[in-house]
Amino acid sequence: MLRWSLLPAGLRLGHNPSCAYRWFSTTRVALAQDSPRWGDTLLLPKTAFPLYNDPSQDPRIRNKTTEDLYRWQWEHAQGPLFVFHDGPPYANGDLHMGHALNKILKDFINRYHQSLGHRVNYAPGWDCHGLPIENKVLKQLGVDMGQLTPSQIRDEAEKFARKEVASQMEQFRQLGIMADWSPESTYRTLDPEYELRQLGIFKAMVEKGLIYRQHRPVHYSPSSRSALAEAELVYNDKHISHSVYVSFQLDPASPHMSDTLRALTAGKEEVSLLVWTTTPWTLTANMAIAVNPEMKYHIASVKGEGSSEADESKSIVIYAKDREPVLREIPGLLSSPMTPLGEIDGSDLVGATYRPIFAPLNSTRSSLPSLPIIPSSHVTQDSGTGLVHCAPAHGAEDYAVMQSLGLIASSSSTSADIGISVSPSAAAELVCHVNGLGEFTHKVAEVVGDQVATRLVAQDVLGQGSREIVALLTEIGALRKLQRYKHRYPYDWKTDKPVIVLATSQWFANLDNIKEDAVAALQDVSFVPAISRNRLESFIRSRSEWCISRQRVWGVPIPALYHLPTNSAVLDSDSLTHIMSVLRKYGPRYWWDGPASAFVPASRREGKSDAEVDAEWRKGTDTMDVWFDSGSSWSMLDALYADPAVSAQEGKTRKRSFGADVCLEGSDQHRGWFQSQLLTALGSATDSALARKAPYSTLITHGMVLDENGKKMSKSLGNIVSPMVVIHGGKGKNEKAYGPDVLRLWAATVEFGKDMSMGPTMLQQCAETMRKIRNSSRFILGSLGDKPFANKGERAELGLADRYVLHRLHKLDRTARAGYEAFNFPQVINELSYFANITLSSFYFDINKDCLYAEREDGLERRRVLTVLDQVLTTMTKVLAPVLPHLAEEIHATLHGVDAPSVFTTLWTPLPDEFVDAKAEEDMDKLLRIRSKVFALLEQARKDGHVKSSLSADVAMNILSAATSDVIDLLGHEENTLKGLFGVSGVSLSDRSVDETTPAWQYKDTLEIEGTELALSVRPAALEKCPRCWTYTRHEHDELCKRCADVVRA
DSSP 194-248: HHHHHHHHHHHHHHTT-EEEEEEEEEEETTTTEE--GGGEEEEEEEEEEEEEEEE
- Residue 329 pLDDT: 86
Average pLDDT of the segment spanning 184-199: 96
- Grade residue 592 by pLDDT with cuts at 50, 70 and 90: very high
- Tell which residue, 949, 965, 943, 801, has the closest CA to residue 869: 801
Amino acid letter, residue 196? L
Q: What is the distance of C-alpha 1004 from the center of its chain?
A: 56
- Residue 646 pLDDT: 80
What's this model's pTM, rounded to 2 decimal places?
Answer: 0.84
Report the C-alpha gap between 887 and 772 in whole angstroms. 12
Query: Exposed/middle/buried for 360, CB within 10 Å: 0-12, 13-18, 19+?
Result: middle
Mean pLDDT lowest among 118-122, 133-137, 862-866: 133-137
DSSP 776-816: HHHHHHHHHTSS---SPPPGGG--HHHHHHHHHHHHHHHHH
Say how many Å lie between the first and final Cα of the chain, rounded.
48
- Tell which residue, 791, 813, 785, has the closest CA to residue 875: 813
Q: What is the distance of C-alpha 969 from the center of its chain?
A: 56
The residues pairing with 299 across neighbouring beta strands, listed in sequence order, are 318, 342
Q: Are 556 and 608 in contact (CB under 8 A)?
A: no
- Grade residue 21 by pLDDT with cuts at 50, 70 and 90: very low
Q: Are 676 and 631 in contact (CB under 8 A)?
A: yes
Q: Around Cβ 301, how many Cβ atoms within 10 Å?
A: 14
Report the C-alpha gap between 1019 and 1004 in whole angstroms. 9
Share of the chain above pLDDT 90, in %: 71
Report the C-alpha gap between 561 and 611 in whole angstroms. 16
Counts for the chain of helices (H) and strands (E), in that order: 36, 34
Q: Are 776 and 840 in contact (CB under 8 A)?
A: yes
Report the C-alpha gap between 482 and 305 in whole angstroms. 12
Backbone angles phi, psi at 39, to 5 degrees: -60, -35
Average pLDDT of the segment spanning 1025-1041: 93
State the pairing for strand pair 233-249/271-277: antiparallel
Q: What is the distance of C-alpha 906 from the center of its chain?
A: 31
Amino acid letter, residue 186? T
Report the C-alpha gap between 427 and 408 in whole angstroms. 9
- Tell which residue, 738, 731, 735, 730, has the closest CA to residue 54: 738
The residues pairing with 665 across neighbouring beta strands, listed in sequence order, are 701
Average pLDDT of the segment spanning 577-590: 96
Average pLDDT of the segment spanning 203-223: 92
Q: Are 804 and 864 in contact (CB under 8 A)?
A: no
Whether 10 shows a pLDDT value over 80: the answer reads no
- Tell which residue, 463, 450, 542, has the closest CA to residue 498: 463
- Tell which residue, 890, 876, 897, has the closest CA to residue 741: 890
Residue 232 CB contacts under 8 Å (≥ 6 apart), including other chains: 219, 492, 493, 494, 625, 627
Cis before 424? omega within 30? no
Rg (CA), the chain: 40
Where in 271-355 does DSSP place strands (E)? 271-277, 288-291, 296-303, 314-320, 335-345, 353-354
SS3 471: helix
The residues pairing with 966 across neighbouring beta strands, listed in sequence order, are none
Q: Are 1049 and 983 in contact (CB under 8 A)?
A: no
Q: What is the distance of C-alpha 755 from the center of its chain?
A: 9
Residues in the chain: 1050
- Tell which residue, 341, 296, 302, has the closest CA to residue 319: 296
Report the C-alpha gap between 471 and 946 in whole angstroms. 91
Report the C-alpha gap between 999 and 32 in whole angstroms. 34
Residue 327 CB contacts under 8 Å (≥ 6 apart), including other chains: 274, 319, 333, 334, 385
State the pairing for strand pair 623-624/549-550: antiparallel
- Residue 410 pLDDT: 58
State the pairing for strand pair 500-510/211-221: antiparallel
- Residue 758 pLDDT: 93
The pLDDT tens digits for 786-845 are 999 998 888 889 999 999 999 999 999 999 999 999 999 999 999 999 999 999 999 999
The pLDDT tens digits for 908-956 are 999 999 999 999 999 999 999 999 999 999 999 999 999 999 999 999 9
The pLDDT tens digits for 310-342 are 444 568 999 999 998 888 888 888 766 778 889
CA dihedral for 51, 52, 57, 63, sign (positive or negative): positive
- Please state, in angstroms and as integers, the Cα–Cα distance from residue 634 to each residue in 113, 146, 510, 639, 658, following that order: 21, 36, 20, 11, 8
Average pLDDT, the chain: 89
The pLDDT tens digits for 146-176 are 788 999 999 999 999 999 999 999 999 999 9
Query: Exposed/middle/buried for 801, CB within 10 Å: 0-12, 13-18, 19+?
Result: buried
- Grade residue 996 by pLDDT with cuts at 50, 70 and 90: low
Mean pLDDT lowest among 3-12, 272-281, 384-393: 3-12
Sheet containing 617-619: order of strands:
420-421, 568-570, 561-563, 617-619
Query: Exposed/middle/buried for 10, CB within 10 Å: 0-12, 13-18, 19+?
Result: middle
Report the C-alpha gap between 806 and 772 in whole angstroms. 20
Report the C-alpha gap between 550 and 633 in whole angstroms. 19
The residues pairing with 490 across neighbouring beta strands, listed in sequence order, are 235
Report the C-alpha gap between 107 and 119 in whole angstroms. 14
Mean pLDDT lowest among 385-394, 510-519, 649-658: 649-658
Q: Are 285 and 431 in contact (CB under 8 A)?
A: yes
Average pLDDT of the segment spanning 848-856: 94
- Residue 4 pLDDT: 33
Instruction: Tell me what percent of the chain is helix, strand and coil, each rounded to the nearest 5.
Output: 45, 20, 35
Whether 889 shows a pLDDT value over 60: the answer reads yes
Q: Are 903 and 68 in contact (CB under 8 A)?
A: no
- Tell which residue, 524, 520, 596, has the closest CA to residue 557: 596
Report the C-alpha gap between 887 and 877 in whole angstroms. 8
The residues pairing with 414 across neighbouring beta strands, listed in sequence order, are 212
The pLDDT tens digits for 30-79 are 333 444 588 889 999 999 999 899 999 999 999 999 999 999 999 999 99
Report the C-alpha gap between 691 and 682 in whole angstroms. 5
Q: Are 879 and 812 in contact (CB under 8 A)?
A: yes
Cis before 912? omega within 30? no
- Residue 335 pLDDT: 66
SS3 697: strand
The DSSP 8-state label assigned to residue 16 in this structure reads -
- Residue 16 pLDDT: 38
Max CA separation in the chain (angstroms): 131
Report the C-alpha gap between 363 and 135 in whole angstroms. 43
State the pairing for strand pair 413-414/660-666: unpaired
Whether 639 shows a pLDDT value over 70: the answer reads yes
Residue 148 CB contacts under 8 Å (≥ 6 apart), including other chains: 138, 141, 156
